Chains A and B, each alone.
Chain A
Amino acid sequence: MTLQMNWSRASTLLQRLGSVIGLVLLFIVLSVMSPDFLTTGNLLTVLRQVSINALIAFGMTFVILAGGIDLSVGAILAFTGAITAGLMASGHGIVLSVGAGLGLGLILGMVNGVLVSWGKVAPFIATLGTLTLLRGLTLSYTQGSPIPVTNQSFALVGGGYVANLVPLPVIWMFIAFVVCGFLLRGTVFGRHVVAIGGNEEAARLSGVRIAPMKIAIYGLSGLLSAFAGIVLTSRLYSAQATAGQGYELDAIAAVVLGGTSLAGGRGWLFGTLIGALLIGFLNNGLNLLGVSSFYQQVVKGIVILIAVLLDRRQ
């Protein structure tokens, strides 16, 4: 009897920690198979590679928790990156350029929220529309060619290190994680996000103001995408017109791998971080092992499918 109770408690824990166990297993497999995997240099490299996806995925977690989806994140990243680099190229300072980029991301995200809440457009369609619109605007603004960044201090945002060891993007990622984690677990805002995703009608009846909440949620997603865009632009020494293509899918994959339900209402931010790390270590490990990029996609696809299957069975 006692044994059975313990076992059921353990199995609940297993469900919750599925992604963590997956990551640990992946870690062990890769450490055994590649001697170059388990080195400080490599682990920090992967953390830096993961940071862009993680920043976007944190915002995506809020959107998906509230029962929505945001396909425009990659396009917002490219557009705000281009505007930030463009402002700097025309002689504006870092603070103004970065501030404008972040502000623009927030506004673009809020536009998504307005379309979804007041416009009653399905999130998939609304953000597909803004994705296409912003891609077009980015191409016309940049004329299709990269905007180079020459500002050396800006280059530090994505290329700098703390204590000559920890890459700055990793620091940004952890700051964003702590702030978003607090927003989700420690504030009324976070509880309302989960309530909307669980049952929107019930949330509305119990006094949650749905429209402003959705505008804020998509705004947060836009803001974090813009932040990712600025870090990426800095890291590439240039804003690329075609940057961020397909990033929406990587972010959604991170959220789902982390155990957040695509149906909304159930999930956690720590899972998203683990999901992003899973994707990052998978990419890195397969590169270290010399696996062809075609098979890499196959492996990633299988892992995502397994995560979704786990989600369905819960």
Chain B
Amino acid sequence: MRKLTFLAAAAATLLAACSQQGPGESAPAAGSTAGGAAAGGKPVIGLALSTQNNPFFVELKDGAQKAADASGVQLVVVDAQDDPARQISSVEDLIQKRVSVILLNPTDSSALAGAVQSAQRANIPVITLDRGVDGAEVASHIASDNIAGGKMAADYLAKQLGGKGNIIELQGVAGTSAARERGKGFDDEIATTGMKVVAQQPANFDRAQGLSVSENLLQGNSDVQAIFAQNDEMALGAVQALAGKNKKVLVVGFDGTPDGKKAVQDGQMAATVAQQPEEIGRLGVETAKKLVDKQPVDKSIAVPLKLLTKE
């Protein structure tokens, strides 16, 4: 008998947790706990996150949630804890729930193609956020506008240096879209000014490599006014490389990570081109809403970046 009581308690706990979190989790829903679009009422949109252990993705989720509340859709969030297998399972669960659209922030671009295809077979459009999926077509891909971000960094340096000066560029992992696009935006814009990139070399988005590569390049180029790093980690490495030298070199990073922002506040870095994860989430839900309303959407949506300086 005691065992039965225990099991009843287990079921009760489960019930309590569910009914608290069911509809309330997404919005002050007026209807029942359940149901996709078929159940009538609010359309349901699924958001499959790679992880919630990283502030970037938590901000992305918050942006999506706000947009969902504002536009009257129900948002169901599932979290893969950075495990692609778990993400496939949770995408399958969203398919079984017959959500209207799936917003997918993939843990990994190579592992989710099968899940995206399953969704398409079930006539559920998929929108990828921040990272893309290889080997499957999606309705739309929403990510930061890295080219514009690179241009932004170049414009900032042009303004600070009066359009003249020598620059060192620290590049990210060769072949990644982030490194390619950030570099292209920056280099193309620099070419239109009197400034010159005197040296560029990969430091693989890594702080330690950013330090050693900067040291080497500074050794070979004494007349340098600025360093542009394609992410904040490398920029922070460059800051360390400059630490012993008593000359003014402007360091500009990319991403707006907490460490990067702090370095800008402390005056160690001149600026960072910050991503706007909240904006990615908001645009994700708004684009999904358009798909629900059978409106056309763009295949690729570039989210603007924001230049952060000390002011």
Nearest to A34 among chain B residues (CB) is: B34
List the one stretch of B87-95, B191-199, B218-226 in contact with chain A.
B87-95
A238 touches B22 (CB 8 A): no
| B1-50, CB < 8 A from A | 1-4, 6-11, 13-15, 17-18, 20-23, 25-26, 33-36, 39
Cβ contact within 8 Å between B96 and A288: yes
Judged by a CB distance under 8 angstroms, whether A235 is at the interface is yes
- A283 contacts partner chain B, Cβ-Cβ < 8 Å: yes
Q: Give the residue of B17, B79, B96 whose beta carbon is less than 8 angstroms from that of A298.
A: B17
How many residues from B make CB contacts under 8 Å with A? 53
Task: Decide: B7 and A22 in contact? CB cutoff 8 A.
Answer: yes
Q: How many residues of chain A get a CB closer than 8 Å to chain B's CBs?
A: 54
In the complex, whether A133 has a CB less than 8 A from a CB of chain B is: no
Residue of B nearest to A306 (CB): B10
CB-CB under 8 A for A292 and B77, given A146-B108, A284-B93, A303-B10: yes
- A291/B111 in contact, CB under 8 A: no
Contact stretch, chosen from A25-33, A100-108, A268-276: A25-33
A-chain residues with CB within 8 Å of residue B25 when the two chains form the complex:
290-292
Once the chains are docked, how many angstroms separate the CA of A22 from the CA of B3? 10
Is A287 a contact partner of B90 (Cβ separation < 8 A)? Answer: yes
Known A-B contacts A14-B4, A236-B85; the reply to A29 vs B22 at CB < 8 A is: no
A to B contact number (C-beta, < 8 Å): 147
Instruction: For the complex formed, measure the closest distance between the CB of A71 and the CB atoms of chain B, giving whole angstroms.
Output: 17
Given contacts A18-B3, A240-B111, contact A290 B21 (CB under 8 A): yes
- Does B114 reach chain A (CB closer than 8 Å)? yes
Chain B residues with CB under 8 Å of A11's CB are 1, 3
Closest to A240 in B: B84
Contact with B along A278-314 (1 / 0, CB 8 A): 0000111011111111110011001100100110010
CB-contacts of B48-89 with A (<8 A): 52, 74, 76-79, 81-85, 88-89
Contact A33 B33, beta carbon cutoff 8 Å: yes
Interfacial chain A residues near B18, Cβ < 8 Å:
33, 286, 289, 291
Beta-carbon contact of A289 and B85 below 8 Å: no
Q: Give the distance in Å from the alpha carbon of A242 to the alpha carbon of B85 in the complex.
A: 11
Instruction: Flag whether A136 is at the interface (Cβ < 8 A).
Output: no
Q: How far is the CA of A17 from the CA of B10 in the complex (A)?
A: 15
Q: Which of B10, B76, B84 contacts A290 (CB 8 A)?
A: B76
Chain B CB within 8 A of A21 CB: yes
Interface presence of B97 (CB below 8 A): yes
Majority-rule SS of A interface residues: helix
> Which of A38-46, A122-130, A204-212, A218-226 is found at the contact surface with chain B?
A38-46
Closest chain B residue, CB of each to CB of A288: B97
Q: Which of A26, A35, A283, A290 contacts B23 (CB 8 A)?
A: A290
Do B3 and A310 have beta carbons less than 8 Å apart? yes
**CB nearest neighbor in A for B22:** A289
B98 interface residue per 8 A CB criterion:
yes
Bound together, the chains give a CA A30 to CA B101 distance in angstroms of 23
Q: Is there an interface contact between A310 and B6, defined as CB atoms closer than 8 Å?
A: yes
Contact partners of A35 in chain B: CB under 8 A:
34-35, 39
> Contact at A148–B110, with CB atoms within 8 Å?
yes
Contacts of A288 in B (CB 8 A): 34, 93, 96-97
Q: List the interface of chain A (C-beta within 8 A of B).
A: 11, 14-15, 18, 21-22, 25-26, 29, 33-36, 39, 41-42, 45, 48-49, 52, 146, 148, 159, 232, 235-238, 240, 242-243, 245-246, 282-284, 286-295, 298-299, 302-303, 306, 309-310, 313
Closest 10 CB pairs of A and B: A293-B79, A287-B93, A236-B111, A290-B76, A42-B96, A49-B89, A291-B21, A238-B110, A25-B11, A146-B110
Q: What are 13 of the A-B contact pairs (CB < 8 Å)?
A: A29-B14, A33-B34, A39-B96, A235-B88, A236-B111, A237-B114, A240-B84, A243-B83, A284-B93, A287-B97, A289-B22, A290-B22, A292-B25
